[in-house]
Structure 1
Amino acid sequence: MTTNPFLANFRPYISASVKTMRELTPVPLIVGTLLGIVFGASSLYLVLKVGLTVSASIPVAVISITLFRVLSKLGLRDATILEHNIVQTAGSAGESIAFGVGVTMPAIMILGFDLEFWRVTMVAIMGGLLGILMMIPLRRALIKDQHGYLKYPEGTACAEVLKAGANEESRKMSIEAEKIMTDDKVNSGGKVIGIGFGLGFLFNTLMQVFKSWKDVPGKEFGAPFQGGSISLENNPALLGVGYIIGPKIAGIMFSGGALAYLVLIPMIKFFGAGVPEPVTPATGLLIRDMALEGKDSIQSTYILYIGAGAVAAGGIISLFRSLPVIIHGIRSGIADFRLGNKNTVQEELPRTDQDLSMKWVVGGILALMIVIAIVPTLKMNILGAILIILFGFLFVTVSSRLTGEIGSSSNPISGMTVATLLLTCLVFLLLGWTQPDPYFVTALSVGGIVCIAASNGGTTSQDLKTGFHVGGTPWRQQIAILTGALASALVLGPILISLNNASTVYVPVAAATFPTEFRVQASQLVQHEGEPKQEQVEDASLKDSNSYYVWHNTEANGETGRYLVNADGKPVYLVDPGINGTIRTRVDGTTVTKYNAPKATLMSYIIKGILSQELPWSLVLLGVMIAVVLELSGIPSLAFAVGLYLPIAVSAPIFVGGLVRWMVDKDLIRKLQGRNLTEEEVIAETDKSPGVLLASGYIAGGALAGIMVALATEFLSGTMASFTSWSEAYNPFYAGNHSDWLALLPFLVLVVLLYYAGLERIFQGKSSRH
């Protein structure tokens, strides 16, 4: 392979020759694991409410630096930069697993099955560990050999956070070993990170808690361009991601959104306005009555399938393009395997290039596959286990590479899950496996494990990139994220079930709902370990302590859903779940919070659609053809497909961040013209811009504020409502008092600050360039 010019002058913050610095020690590992559980829980809440999560690595890194700095002032030992890296590595696992769990597992209830503890827990454990193990052989190929080409924006930003917050011991070790940092630069970087964090945190707090401005200002166009729309999410984290990934990828992503919202949706609206009946896959609404976004909208009914097809095709094309790099990484992993035990590997390779032994990796994957095949709660078979291996490796590879191009925040894991379910259900259909029990659960288990594996594979890549920059030891990081993933997987299942149960409403069945002679037969009851499943009513206001049998009604009479029936077979209660339920008021008049789980709804529709032969393949194939046309035009289709799949409001702030980076780089390149630098050296100089530090702060502050607001909304709803009421009454900037576009003014302030920070005109003392 050709020599990578970016690696020629690269040196990590802590040299490979430094072997005495503390790294994988108990306290940082425990702290990181606990933070991973906390962030995993908050991310699970977010994905159930809105179908999205935020990357946890940078917020965890910021918390780690702050926590250990406070402990050092109390007389305890401060953490080294490598220990902070272990904290963020273990802490990031919870968020990635939470996304996969929230996207797939609620679909089990929508498909008519119970949300069982062991089913959710086993999917989370298997997917989380599998994604990490499959990523390990790819580390050298993607993280090291592609350094400079794959940016890994969150991983790079997290490394800047850790370097800016490095303690005196770490800085001294780095200065003595490499002479690459100065006190002025470290202090200046910490200042910029801190300002960015404060601005991002304050921005989202004022917006989400006090409703000082609208979070997604937008404009729907009227005639003659009816159906067209443009919107932008006021999110400093997305602005920061756009700045870090740069203008090219940000522009391609936004182009996908522009195609969806400025071409496809207006076309569908125009041609469908006069159609007098619903157009498949819509069943109830006419196109002229559909909204542009939201439930039963043009975007969710048509564009989502087109985007899923484009993402699937783009991922497969990206895989084939990456085959030389992937094969090189696999060969390196096999070479490690041949070297023998880990001690031999440590003697042959520098500390910063040592992975877990391939014996452990291969053995772990085989062990997981055996467990997946034999655990009855997954309703898995040999074919399902084989599909998990194939799709798992495919999408872990695609996810790991894609996070390097566009970042974790924009990584379309749900699109990869859609592709997995499409192909899995198609195989089942060809084999005639269309019965709901067990094949619906089998297909969803395949999709859930692959989804979590792909999500964790991308997260692991970002963490290993952070370690690559700061000089961490890969095998120690891999142990940390395996530990964090296992702990989070064990906890997220009960949390998901608790959230559902806490918002479940029991509705007494009216006498007229079913015919008087109607009785549920014993063969129709839900079985558990060979016996009819029994439950008690979890609603104290009903004062009913009796046990009832569980029945899923799919008959024509009565409302379909989950029921509790008595010993005579008479339905007594309709059980409306907390996730995807519709009844928000209990018998005593109290209200509950419902979770829409939009992505899980999509997954259930795909399984039902294919196995019932109702999937709109024409829309999926349109997306595939869009990806093919882009590749023929020389445009990377995967980044474009991401923009096509996501709402344009998400890609718009990323595009703005990319534009700011373009303007900053243009000015910097002009200043560097007289230094006779190569193109690679110019790119390296632009990556050193203080704007990257401020963008990192935006990501950290915005993400942490979003998570904290979500937690406060769930557990301190009364207090949060009081804040909103106060703002509505007394805040002159309240969102409801001004137009949508005035809400962009605070966002433009962040844009201007980012631009001038990139030019080193603010937030700087002495110049940090060398």
Structure 2
Amino acid sequence: MKDDQPLVPASASLPEITFKAVVLSVILAAVLAAANAYLGLFAGMTVSASIPAAVASMAILRLFRQSNILENNIVQTAASSGEALAAGVIFTIPALLLVGYWSVFDYWQTVLIATVGGLLGVLFTIPLRRALIVTARLRFPEGVATAEVLKVAAAGRSTTGQDHSAGDFRALLSAALIGGAVKFGESGLRLWTEALEGAATVGRTVMYAGINLSPALLAVGFIIGLPTAVVVFLGGVVGWLVLLPAYGLLHGLPPDKTGLAAAMAIWSGQIRYVGIGAMLTGGLWTLTRLREPVWQSLQTLRASYNASRASGGSTVVPRTEQDASLWWIVVPFGLSLIPMAWIYTTVVDNPMIGILMTLVMVVAAFLFSSVAAYMAGLVGSSSNPVSGVTIATIMLAALLLVLFMGAGHPAGPAAALVIGAVVCCAAAMGGDNLQDLKTGHLVGATPWKQQVMQVVGVVTGAVVLVPVLSLLQAKYGIGEPTVAHPHPLSAPQATLMASLTRSVFGAGLPWPLVGLGAAIGVLVIFADRLLERRGSDFRLPVLAVALGVYLPLKLSAAIFAGGVIAELVKRAAGWGDDPSRRGLLFAAGLITGEALMGIMLAIPIALTALWPGLGADPFTLFDVPPFGGWPGLMIVALVAGALYRVAIGSSKTGR
């Protein structure tokens, strides 16, 4: 079927926004937003939820007598919007705790920041739909893949009579149960440790090795594939196996520390700042590379608008080309600025600076929503450089605030982070929105109805995310290790944003290490450009390498293992692209199950604050896991085998 021939023609009219679709949308948006929040804080990476949402939707809607492909599309649109908003929130909002602005997550301020950022991402990308999807005809690979899933559901049964969607849903559900059970054994019962790791003191320095025993990280590696997983792992090798021992040789070990304690002290106190420098270089390079695509996007938008005016409004717009009207863009946009101006004014206690910050936020949100939309059209929303543009926004905002408020202003870091949070949410939504609208374009959906449901997904995610973040903070801790939480969720992006703002406003960074990271980033960029000129399929995106330097090696090692599984499946099945849809669904189920179990295990900790006599961690059998990490290694190996078998089995049957 050609791209300009949707599955449901414009002349047909099927129910889209139905009661059951809205209810299912809200439930899935909440679940997937919570799962992606956990994954992002844990691993520093998020994955697109469009395909899992589409599979879950079509499996549930099949239970009703009346359902259709456009209802399925509406559900996955709202659900993936909630998931995308989670990425924008967890990359920035926890930083407000790390800089000391909040001691706990402020519910209403977070809801307002997330809602306004997500809403701006929706509104700013409405005019881009025709420009990028219809006129420029960008690929939007993840949107096309989701459309194919929906078409399978519409086709019903295969020639053999097998209900493929039911099998897909079983794969998703069974993987979720497995992921949840493994997380319960590790974090609930504490039968084994979360990682198998160790370090040995060698002369003046230390050598480290380790791998996290998380099915979710295996699944992340499987989904992103071996090339990206290799790049992230390469950054980990540079940081942990090259720079960390080199630092020990030059400066010796920290006082009174040997082995694993020494390795972790050197990494947290020194080496991760090299990752910050590399990320700064990557963010600036990303903006430089995106100048031409953004300009082309705006030119295409202007040409589309001029063509519409030339018709004088006399042309009847087909159902499949009906976007939300201008008033439905302008009025919500104007209303959204009021709460943001109030929040900014509250943070800095200065109305004029609050208004200035609002203007900066609007310009940056529009620019980077357009950037994210264009990049989603080229490489998909999962590969969007949201971290890079957020870094650039926060640095620009911080420098402007220093100019107007002075470097010693105590509210400066928080003010810059709030601007970055809104822009990050808008950028995360921008790519996801256009991806979903591409899916709708292929199946014959009504664009304005999708845009309405994108807002529903934003509001759902905004309402759900604060309780989720509070639970995760209570159970695991976020960002910095403490006595109560010695192994917190690393929250790499939020920790980075906090460090950047503190440095601009006077706390300072170890600039020689940051400079070393910047130099490494430049070398990676040159190497990537050389690979590009040679036409190599393998590339070295600088932000992925920088993330690997910044992440604990045990995380990138587990992600790399998942990438290896994906590559083995591809080679065994003889496929050149994705291993199989059911394999991807199984991987998505592992992530969802582990994330939801991790959140549920946090509930007793939160209840302890209300009823101290309840006792925390009621499931815990051992304060110290008696078997170390070896049981977890065997279990994760079995999970990896199951992932391989599901993927290779479905590949052989064309699934």
TM-score interval, smaller chain: 0.7 to 0.9
Q: 1:606 aligns with which of 500, 517, 538?
A: 500
User: Aligned residue for 2:409?
Assistant: 436
Structure 2: gaps of 5 or more residues: 530-539, 606-613
Q: 1:742 aligns with which of 627, 631, 634?
A: 634
Encode CA deviations 1:295-345: one digit per residue, 9 max, x unaligned. Answer: xx4444334333333334334433433444333332333344442599959
Q: Residue 479 of structure 1: SS of its match in structure 2? A: helix
Code of the residue aligned with 2:251 in structure 1: it is G
Q: Residue 67 of structure 2: SS of its match in structure 1? A: coil
Alignment partners' CA distance in 2, 1:617 and 1:345: 61
Alignment partners' CA distance in 1, 2:334 and 2:97: 30
Code of the residue aligned with 1:611 in structure 2: it is F
Code of the residue aligned with 1:442 in structure 2: it is A
* Offset of residue 189 of structure 1: 6.1
Encode CA deviations 1:490-524: one digit per residue, 9 max, x unaligned. Answer: 55457767998x99xxxxxxxxxxxxxxxxxxxxx
Shift in alpha-carbon separation, 1:348–1:644, aligned structure 2, 3 A? farther
Alignment partners' CA distance in 1, 2:235 and 2:138: 25
Shift in alpha-carbon separation, 1:360–1:220, aligned structure 2, 3 A? farther
Q: Map 1:383-394 to 2 at 5 A.
A: 383-394=356-367
Q: 1:87 aligns with which of 51, 75, 91?
A: 75
Shift in alpha-carbon separation, 1:141–1:736, aligned structure 2, 3 A? farther
Shift in alpha-carbon separation, 1:323–1:410, aligned structure 2, 3 A? closer
Alignment partners' CA distance in 2, 1:286 and 1:735: 24
* Offset of residue 209 of structure 1: 1.4
Alignment partners' CA distance in 2, 1:439 and 1:648: 33
Q: 1:448 aligns with which of 421, 430, 439?
A: 421
Instruction: Verify the 8 A CA contact 2:276 2:496 in the aligned structure 1.
Output: no
Shift in alpha-carbon separation, 1:725–1:496, aligned structure 2, 3 A? closer
Alignment partners' CA distance in 2, 1:272 and 1:93: 48
User: Aligned residue for 1:197?
Assistant: 172
Shift in alpha-carbon separation, 1:319–1:35, aligned structure 2, 3 A? same
Alignment partners' CA distance in 1, 2:315 and 2:287: 31
Instruction: Verify the 8 A CA contact 1:55 1:703 in the aligned structure 2.
Output: no
Instruction: Verify the 8 A CA contact 1:150 1:405 in the aligned structure 2.
Output: yes
Code of the residue aligned with 2:340 in structure 1: it is I
Q: Which shifted more, 199-208 or 353-362?
A: 353-362
Instruction: Verify the 8 A CA contact 1:135 1:397 in the aligned structure 2.
Output: yes
Q: Map 1:176-575 to 2 at 5 A.
A: 182-184=158-160, 187-188=163-164, 190-191=166-167, 193-194=168-169, 196-211=171-186, 215-218=194-197, 220=199, 223=202, 227-236=206-215, 238-273=217-252, 291-293=262-264, 297-338=265-306, 339=308, 347=316, 351=320, 355-356=323-324, 360-361=328-329, 365=333, 368-369=336-337, 372-373=340-341, 376-379=345-348, 381-397=354-370, 399-400=372-373, 413=386, 416-431=389-404, 433-436=406-409, 438-467=411-440, 470-490=443-463, 492=465
Shift in alpha-carbon separation, 1:487–1:603, aligned structure 2, 3 A? same
- Whose helix fraction is larger, Structure 1's or Structure 2's? 2
Instruction: Verify the 8 A CA contact 1:227 1:266 in the aligned structure 2.
Output: yes
Alignment partners' CA distance in 2, 1:458 and 1:650: 26
User: Aligned residue for 2:621?
Assistant: 725
Shift in alpha-carbon separation, 1:706–1:308, aligned structure 2, 3 A? same
Shift in alpha-carbon separation, 1:369–1:117, aligned structure 2, 3 A? same
Instruction: Verify the 8 A CA contact 1:337 1:358 in the aligned structure 2.
Output: no
User: Aligned residue for 1:678?
Assistant: none
Shift in alpha-carbon separation, 1:374–1:204, aligned structure 2, 3 A? closer
Q: 1:25 aligns with which of 13, 18, 26?
A: 18
User: Aligned residue for 1:715?
Assistant: 603
Encode CA deviations 1:580-601: one digit per residue, 9 max, x unaligned. Answer: 89797xxxxxx9x999977655
Shift in alpha-carbon separation, 1:288–1:704, aligned structure 2, 3 A? closer
Note if 1:119 corresponds to 2:88: no
Encode CA deviations 1:434-468: one digit per residue, 9 max, x unaligned. Answer: 34354343222212212222333343345345445
User: Aligned residue for 2:533?
Assistant: none
Shift in alpha-carbon separation, 1:92–1:241, aligned structure 2, 3 A? same
Q: Residue 580 of structure 2: SS of its match in structure 1? A: helix
Instruction: Verify the 8 A CA contact 1:308 1:418 in the aligned structure 2.
Output: no
Code of the residue aligned with 2:182 in structure 1: it is M
* Offset of residue 603 of structure 1: 3.8
Q: Over aligned residue pairs, what C-alpha RMSD do you find?
A: 4.8
Shift in alpha-carbon separation, 1:131–1:144, aligned structure 2, 3 A? same
Q: 2:644 aligns with which of 752, 766, 769?
A: 752
Shift in alpha-carbon separation, 1:237–1:65, aligned structure 2, 3 A? farther
Code of the residue aligned with 1:609 in structure 2: it is S
Q: Map 1:10-49 to 2 at 5 A.
A: 14-17=7-10, 19-40=12-33
Alignment partners' CA distance in 2, 1:471 and 1:225: 65
Instruction: Verify the 8 A CA contact 2:38 2:595 in the aligned structure 1.
Output: no
Q: Map 1:631-642 to 2 at 5 A.
A: 631-633=525-527, 634=529, 635-642=540-547
Alignment partners' CA distance in 2, 1:494 and 1:208: 20
User: Aligned residue for 1:512?
Assistant: none
Shift in alpha-carbon separation, 1:454–1:648, aligned structure 2, 3 A? farther
Q: Residue 725 of structure 1: SS of its match in structure 2? A: coil
Instruction: Verify the 8 A CA contact 1:421 1:447 in the aligned structure 2.
Output: yes
Q: Which shifted more, 39-48 or 23-32?
A: 39-48
Q: Which shifted more, 261-270 or 208-217?
A: 208-217
Q: Identity over the aligned pairs, expressed in percent?
A: 31
Shift in alpha-carbon separation, 1:656–1:290, aligned structure 2, 3 A? closer
Code of the residue aligned with 1:310 in structure 2: it is A
* Offset of residue 481 of structure 1: 0.9
User: Aligned residue for 1:171?
Assistant: 155
Code of the residue aligned with 2:546 in structure 1: it is A
User: Aligned residue for 1:531?
Assistant: none
Instruction: Verify the 8 A CA contact 2:228 2:544 in the aligned structure 1.
Output: yes
* Offset of residue 207 of structure 1: 1.4
Encode CA deviations 1:714-758: one digit per residue, 9 max, x unaligned. Answer: 3367999676639999xxxx9648366535521441353156336
Encode CA deviations 1:198-231: one digit per residue, 9 max, x unaligned. Answer: 4522431331113477654445466389644444
Instruction: Verify the 8 A CA contact 1:342 1:357 in the aligned structure 2.
Output: no
Alignment partners' CA distance in 2, 1:406 and 1:647: 27
Code of the residue aligned with 1:701 in structure 2: it is G
Alignment partners' CA distance in 1, 2:550 and 2:357: 27
Give the alignment's TM-score, normalised by structure 1.
Answer: 0.67
Instruction: Verify the 8 A CA contact 1:160 1:693 in the aligned structure 2.
Output: no
Instruction: Verify the 8 A CA contact 1:141 1:325 in the aligned structure 2.
Output: no
Alignment partners' CA distance in 1, 2:206 and 2:135: 45
Instruction: Verify the 8 A CA contact 2:277 2:514 in the aligned structure 1.
Output: yes
Q: Residue 436 of structure 1: SS of its match in structure 2? A: coil
Code of the residue aligned with 1:429 in structure 2: it is V
Structure 1: gaps of 5 or more residues: 1-7, 173-180, 277-284, 504-576, 585-590, 670-684
Instruction: Verify the 8 A CA contact 1:660 1:755 in the aligned structure 2.
Output: no
Q: Which has the larger radius of gyration?
A: 1
Alignment partners' CA distance in 2, 1:612 and 1:68: 55
Encode CA deviations 1:534-588: one digit per residue, 9 max, x unaligned. Answer: xxxxxxxxxxxxxxxxxxxxxxxxxxxxxxxxxxxxxxxxxxx99989797xxxx
Shift in alpha-carbon separation, 1:66–1:224, aligned structure 2, 3 A? farther
